Amino acid sequence: MTQVSYIVTVDNQLPYLEAMLASLRAQEGDHSREYVFVDDGSEDGSFDALIQRTRTWPRTLLIQQRRQGPGAAALAGAKAATGDIWIFLDADVVLNPAATRIGHEALKSGAADMILFPHGIAPAPLSYDFEMPPAAPAVRVADDPLLALLTEFPAPHRRMMMRRAVFRDPGLFDPGVYLPEVAPPLYAALTHTVGILDMVLSVGRADAPSALRRRGGQAEYDRSLAVAHFVTARPDLPRRLRAAALRVAARRSWEAGRKAGLTSRFFWLYLKTLLGWPMDVPAALKESLAAWDADAIRRPPPPKG
């Protein structure tokens, strides 16, 4: 029997825990279950509440770590998970009752090894009416997956599930990126199939902590940072992929820094990419990240030692 691991990152989300736990208990499907909760330095009693509320749950692991960010918490959960299929979620979201069943069927079919799915916003997530089509939509895989990942998706509102075999440590998660679902698809696409399931499988409130983290500059910065790290670490990437990644990163930086005017350095950086100007791609990618210097960007603390 397939075992599904639910990897849940927790960070001061006490008011949302009951709804999230209820959605886990309501999951459909013929599978065994493992629950891995990783508390990222909560100070509101979230960890103690989880201990109490999951005391009788089978195969449940609770991990507590100093504050390092949701990406690091997801990585800690991945290291501990033992299931065949992993579903990542935040402690303030509600999972579609059919999410596990649909994800299991899609992954088992071989359509993709990692699936990204849309996350919705609702004022009352636990009573959200998930629209269920007669049949689950097919997993969509881009014709040029790595190009699509470097330039288009995953959008910040997408979350992920995957086969355990995709996980490679180190490699899948970038410890320098704050949000957990931004970097893994890039690294997974090198040796696995990454697809999108166009069906909302989780929802949360607009004012929930996980939603607030993914707004504004944080999400765009993390997307550009993940691409910068990925491209810089792989000088053997085809030139077309490096050029496309830089062009999109430069466009994002110009959009973020437009208040500086058309003559800002980010505008000229973007213009150079459009003109095919010869550039040091890693250096230009690093330069583009400066567009978010004035924003309240959360960055993982540097490793000790």
* Delimiting residues of CATH 3.90.550.10 domain(s) in the chain: 3-213
Q: What is the pLDDT of residue 257?
A: 79
Q: Do 205 and 121 contact (CB within 8 A), yes or no?
A: yes
Q: What is the pLDDT of residue 153?
A: 63
User: How many angstroms separate the most distant Cα atoms in the chain?
Assistant: 62
d(CA 228, CA 280): 12
Q: What is the pLDDT of residue 231?
A: 96
Q: Mean of the pLDDT values across residues 100-106?
A: 92
- Pick left, alpha or beta for residue 104 (phi over 0 → left; psi -120 to 50 → alpha; otherwise beta): alpha
d(CA 85, CA 103): 9
Please state, for a pLDDT cut of 70, what percent of the chain lies above it.
95
d(CA 91, CA 37): 9
Please provide residue 37's backbone torsions phi and psi, each rounded to the nearest 5 degrees.
-105, 125
d(CA 256, CA 40): 29
234, two tokens: 């792989």
pLDDT in tens, 239-265: 999 999 999 999 999 988 776 566 688
Contacts of 20 (CB under 8 A, 6+ apart): 8, 13, 89, 90, 91, 92, 93, 94, 95
Q: Report the range out of 90-94, 139-143, 189-193, 299-303 with the highest average pLDDT.
A: 90-94
Tell me the pairing of strands 3-10 and 32-40.
parallel
Coil/strand/helix, residue 294: coil
pLDDT in tens, 193-218: 999 998 999 999 999 999 998 887 89
d(CA 297, CA 90): 19
Find where tokens 């288009």 sit. Answer: 152
205, two tokens: 């409130």
Q: Do 220 and 256 contact (CB within 8 A), yes or no?
A: yes
User: Other CB atoms closer than 10 Å to residue 129's CB: what's the count?
Assistant: 7
212, two tokens: 């607030």
Domain 3-213 sits in CATH at: 3.90.550.10
Contacts of 105 (CB under 8 A, 6+ apart): 136
Q: What is the pLDDT of residue 221?
A: 93
11, two tokens: 């960070």
pLDDT in tens, 120-178: 999 999 889 888 877 778 899 988 989 999 988 655 568 999 999 999 755 789 989 99
How high is the mean pLDDT of the chain?
91
Q: What is the pLDDT of residue 39?
A: 97
pLDDT class of 224 with cuts at 50, 70, 90: very high
pLDDT class of 230 with cuts at 50, 70, 90: very high
